[in-house]
């Protein structure tokens, strides 16, 4: 039997007999890998595990840990779903069933509307099919074979004709007695689909066109292990409870109106959070040598042509006309800051020059993708641009990392991970500058002892960048801070400085937003803390409740003391039970719930209930105030007496 050479991702080479499958090689490498294997990348192409390999090849075994593995796993579950549906509803015609962001779906041509009870039955049948431990088989076929096999399904016939016309190969996958038109690859054994759930039914149209047949779309999610599904469902349940859109409305913090899609209204309480975040960043700016500016929002087309936005970002900008000229609402602050930089001649001794801006930014996102505070059309960023010489890159990046670390670690106590994205294939500038810049970024990260992953080739075309991803309280990951080097924009605007050599050089720019957009950051904070914000951010920091009417005057004295210390305190002196009033204050996520009655008035104290539901009796007012003020000044995440 002739031998072939298989090169693995770590560079090691193994010899196998010709015709071996990737599935067998996986088991040969290790039992665990064999069991986890879903598909394979052979010479750069994704393939089924059961395809014989007949020549020397580079091989990577793909498991559920890989993005491509998850996709194929989900897509295979969609086949499994269709398999169950046609068994239970023979009149339903499978159309297409892709993997999507949240799991997978399959669209069926069927007049009947699936009910929630049907979903339970279908799930049940899927389990039964899986138990049979069906092997999956790939069948390459001619157009006429395909047309014969799928003769009773007009949707598949339409697809077959299309593939034929486009000269694409036609293939199908079979498991048991179910066969589906599919390009593949697929997992070789649907027995690996151990955990899944059908989540909802929705109406859809063939090819998303309302002029075509209406279809029934069934959504689902699947995992290789039951524990993963449970964790996922729990996360979704928890996420729904924390949904900032829901909490924002319930707590009267913020909301949206149809009159202005994607542009949040922050109510008085939400505005307190908004302004507190800006105050916090402003204080840091003062300490860290940033200067704030106030800039226009509308700029003439010519500016956007110079900056490149007209060419690359036009579809995301709101464009209007006045006196025969075109203007666009700014989606980013960078060009405004370059204009300010250029108002006078700058020497290398004037750098770094750091300018910060909270201007409203507008992005013309499709209304379909708008989502609460996390995907908006109008926002403000804690945006700053730093102008530096190439020699200053390392030190200035170090400062920015320090600033970011302060916000994420010391103030918000987030777990975070960092990615360094390097030169992409299409890049601007010269390789030498890029190499130096990437080196400087690495050095700064290492000096700051920050662990980072390199995303090779994923930098922006104008420069390398460092991105921060935080993990929230229920394990979801959010991309937040971004720190980007830019060689391009200063070149386009001819933004220069006079160097020590007395001649002009193009300046280097750092784009950086640490919270990101204030709007999005608030959305994430609300979900992370499930509305129980740190004391310094809480719209109402305290609420004082009376046990009975006669303690109102004492309660008012306590309230005044809090107000004198600049605490935001509300009063609830209604003739309701204390239990009722406490529950309401808790529902309002108020960090310090103070109750006063006979004993408290006599002792000059309050009873305190914190958001973690700890109760402290007979707390001295001055003690509490001192600790609260300190907690706020230090911007602590939690309050402890």
549-556 CB contacts, 8 Å cutoff, 24+ apart? 549/573, 549/575, 551/596, 551/597, 551/598, 551/600, 551/601, 554/596, 554/600, 554/601, 555/596
Given the residues 41, 511, 520, 609, the one annotated as active site: 511
User: What is d(CA 14, CA 4) in angstroms, rounded to the nearest whole number?
Assistant: 8
Closer residue to a second copy (CB): 307 or 405: 307
* Helix, strand, or coil (residue 136): strand
Given the residues 74, 93, 309, 363, the one annotated as active site: 363
Residues in CB range of 256: below 8 A, 6 or more apart: 245, 262, 263, 264, 265, 372
Distance in Å, CB of 511 to a second copy, minimum = 19
- Contacting range for a second copy; rule: CB under 8 A; set: 36-44, 129-137, 335-343, 393-401: 335-343
Q: Which residues between 622 and 641 bind a second copy (CB under 8 A)?
A: none
Q: Is 118 one of the annotated active-site residues of the chain? A: no
Number of residues counted as binding a second copy (CB under 8 A)? 48
Distance in Å, CB of 351 to a second copy, minimum = 15
| Binding map of a second copy across residues 352-391, x = CB under 8 A, - = no contact | ---x---xx-x-x-xx---------xx-------------
Contact status: 209 vs a second copy (CB under 8 A)? no
Closer residue to a second copy (CB): 516 or 597: 516
Closer residue to a second copy (CB): 361 or 400: 361
Closer residue to a second copy (CB): 305 or 473: 305
E strand or H helix at 453, and its extent?
Answer: strand 452-455
Distance in Å, CB of 208 to a second copy, minimum = 16
User: What is d(CA 565, CA 625) in angstroms, rounded to the nearest whole number?
Assistant: 8
Q: Figure out which of the listed residues 104, 105, 327, 521 binds a second copy, where binding follows CB under 8 A.
A: 327
Contact status: 323 vs a second copy (CB under 8 A)? yes
Helix pair angle (621-633, 552-564), 10° resolution: 30
Distance set, CA 58 to CA 15, 39, 256, 296 (Å): 12, 14, 52, 55
| Binding map of a second copy across residues 449-478, x = CB under 8 A, - = no contact | ------------------------------
Closer residue to a second copy (CB): 266 or 497: 266
User: CA-CA-CA-CA torsion for 249, 254, 255, 259, nearest 10 degrees?
Assistant: 160
Distance in Å, CB of 412 to a second copy, minimum = 21
Please give the DSSP secondary-structure letter assigned to residue 114: P
Contact status: 576 vs a second copy (CB under 8 A)? no
In this structure, how many other beta carbons lie within 10 angstroms of the beta carbon of residue 457? 12
Distance in Å, CB of 556 to a second copy, minimum = 16
Distance in Å, CB of 365 to a second copy, minimum = 9
Unique residue bearing structure tokens 């320090």: 402
Distance in Å, CB of 100 to a second copy, minimum = 23
Please give the DSSP secondary-structure letter assigned to residue 375: B
Q: Which residues between 285 and 314 bind a second copy (CB under 8 A)?
A: 291-300, 302-303
Closer residue to a second copy (CB): 173 or 353: 353
E strand or H helix at 561, and its extent?
Answer: helix 552-564
| Token pair listed for 156 | 């598949």
Q: Is 511 one of the annotated active-site residues of the chain? A: yes
| Pairing verdict, β 170-175 and 508-517 | unpaired
Contact status: 343 vs a second copy (CB under 8 A)? yes
Given the residues 93, 217, 245, 385, the one annotated as active site: 385
Closer residue to a second copy (CB): 318 or 616: 318
Q: Is 622 one of the annotated active-site residues of the chain? A: no
Q: Figure out which of the listed residues 139, 228, 339, 625 binds a second copy, where binding follows CB under 8 A.
A: 339
Q: Is 334 one of the annotated active-site residues of the chain? A: yes
Is residue 56 a contact partner of residue 5, using CB atoms and an 8 Å limit?
A: yes
Distance in Å, CB of 313 to a second copy, minimum = 15
Q: Figure out which of the listed residues 199, 214, 271, 314 binds a second copy, where binding follows CB under 8 A.
A: 271
Is residue 218 a contact partner of residue 81, using CB atoms and an 8 Å limit?
A: yes
Q: Is 385 one of the annotated active-site residues of the chain? A: yes
Closer residue to a second copy (CB): 16 or 274: 274
| Residue 230: half-sphere exposure toward Cβ, Cα within 13 Å | 3
Question: Which residues lie across from 201 on neighbouring strands?
Answer: 218
Is residue 151 a contact partner of residue 157, using CB atoms and an 8 Å limit?
A: yes
Given the residues 156, 186, 354, 465, the one annotated as active site: 465
Given the residues 175, 216, 276, 381, the one annotated as active site: 381
Distance in Å, CB of 359 to a second copy, minimum = 8
Q: Figure out which of the listed residues 275, 371, 456, 553 binds a second copy, where binding follows CB under 8 A.
A: 275
Please give the DSSP secondary-structure letter assigned to residue 308: T
Closer residue to a second copy (CB): 233 or 293: 293
Q: Which residues between 240 and 269 bind a second copy (CB under 8 A)?
A: 255, 257-261, 263-268
Q: Which residue from 74, 178, 190, 181 is spatially nearest to 134, judged by alpha carbons?
A: 190
| Token pair listed for 131 | 């138990």
* Strands (E) located in 522-612: 542-546, 569-572, 592-596, 605-610
Closer residue to a second copy (CB): 6 or 567: 567
Given the residues 383, 433, 467, 572, the one annotated as active site: 383
User: What is d(CA 555, CA 562) in angstroms, rounded to the nearest whole number?
Assistant: 11
In this structure, how many other beta carbons lie within 10 angstroms of the beta carbon of residue 90? 9
The residue ranges that bind a second copy (CB under 8 A) are: 255, 257-261, 263-268, 270-271, 274-275, 291-300, 302-303, 318-320, 322-323, 327, 329, 336, 339-340, 343, 355, 359-360, 362, 364, 366-367, 377-378
Active site residues: 334, 363, 381, 383, 385, 465, 511
């Amino acid at each position: 039997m002739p031998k072939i050479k298989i090169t693995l991702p770590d560079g090691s080479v193994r010899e196998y007999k010709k015709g071996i499958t990737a599935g067998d090689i996986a088991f040969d490498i290790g039992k665990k890998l064999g069991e986890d294997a879903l598909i394979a990348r052979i010479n750069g192409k994704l393939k089924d595990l059961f395809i014989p390999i007949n020549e020397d090849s580079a091989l990577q075994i793909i498991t559920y840990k890989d993005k491509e593995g998850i996709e194929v796993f989900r897509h295979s579950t969609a086949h499994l779903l269709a398999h169950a549906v046609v068994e239970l509803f023979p009149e339903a015609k499978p159309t297409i069933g892709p993997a999507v962001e949240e799991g997978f779906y399959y669209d069926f041509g069927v007049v009947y509307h699936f009910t929630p009870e049907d979903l339970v039955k279908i799930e049940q049948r899927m389990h039964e099919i899986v138990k049979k431990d069906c092997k999956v088989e790939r069948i390459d076929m001619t157009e006429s074979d395909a047309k014969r096999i799928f003769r009773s399904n007009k949707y598949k016939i339409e697809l077959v004709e299309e593939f034929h016309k486009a000269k694409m190969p036609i293939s199908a996958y079979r498991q048991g007695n179910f066969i589906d038109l599919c390009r593949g690859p697929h997992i070789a054994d649907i027995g690996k689909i151990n955990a899944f759930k059908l989540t909802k039914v929705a109406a859809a149209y063939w090819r998303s066109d309302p002029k075509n047949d209406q279809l029934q779309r069934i959504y689902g999610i699947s995992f290789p292990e039951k524990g993963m599904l449970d964790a996922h469902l729990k996360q979704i349940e928890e996420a729904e409870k924390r949904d900032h859109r829901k909490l924002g409305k319930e707590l009267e913090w913020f909301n949206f109106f149809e009159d202005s899609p994607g542009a949040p209204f922050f109510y008085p309480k939400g505005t307190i959070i908004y302004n507190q975040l800006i105050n916090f960043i402003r204080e840091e700016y003062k300490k860290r040598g940033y200067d704030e500016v106030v800039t226009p929002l509308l700029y003439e087309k010519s500016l956007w042509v110079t900056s490149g936005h007209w060419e690359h970002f036009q579809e995301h900008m709101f464009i209007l006309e006045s006196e025969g000229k075109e203007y666009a609402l700014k989606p980013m602050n960078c060009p405004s800051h370059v204009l300010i930089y250029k108002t006078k001649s700058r020497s290398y001794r004037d750098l770094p020059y750091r300018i910060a801006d909270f201007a409203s930014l507008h992005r013309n996102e499709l209304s379909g993708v708008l989502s609460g505070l996390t995907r908006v059309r109008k926002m403000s960023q804690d945006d700053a641009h730093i102008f530096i010489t190439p020699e200053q890159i390392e030190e200035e990046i170090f400062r920015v990392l320090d600033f970011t670390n302060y916000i994420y670690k010391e103030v918000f106590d987030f777990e975070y991970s960092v990615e360094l994205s390097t030169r992409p294939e299409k890049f601007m500038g010269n390789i030498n500058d890029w190499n130096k810049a990437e080196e400087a970024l690495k050095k700064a990260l290492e000096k700051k002892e920050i662990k980072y992953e390199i995303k090779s080739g994923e930098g922006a075309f104008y420069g390398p960048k460092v991105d921060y991803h935080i993990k929230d309280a229920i394990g979801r990951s959010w991309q937040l801070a971004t720190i980007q080097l830019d060689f391009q924009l200063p070149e386009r605007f001819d933004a220069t400085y006079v160097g020590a050599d007395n001649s002009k050089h193009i300046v280097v720019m750092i784009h950086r937003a640490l919270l990101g957009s204030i709007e999005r950051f608030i959305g994430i904070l609300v979900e992370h803390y499930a509305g129980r914000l740190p004391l310094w951010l809480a719209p109402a920091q305290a609420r004082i409740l009376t046990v009975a009417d006669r303690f109102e005057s004492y309660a008012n004295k306590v309230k005044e003391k809090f107000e004198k210390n600049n605490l935001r305190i509300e009063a609830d002196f209604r003739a309701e039970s204390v239990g009722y009033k406490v529950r309401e204050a808790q529902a309002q996520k108020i960090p310090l719930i103070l109750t006063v009655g006979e004993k408290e008035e006599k002792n000059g104290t309050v009873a305190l209930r914190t958001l973690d539901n700890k109760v402290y009796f007979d707390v001295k007012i001055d003690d509490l105030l001192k600790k609260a003020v300190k907690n706020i000044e230090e911007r602590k995440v939690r309050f402890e007496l």
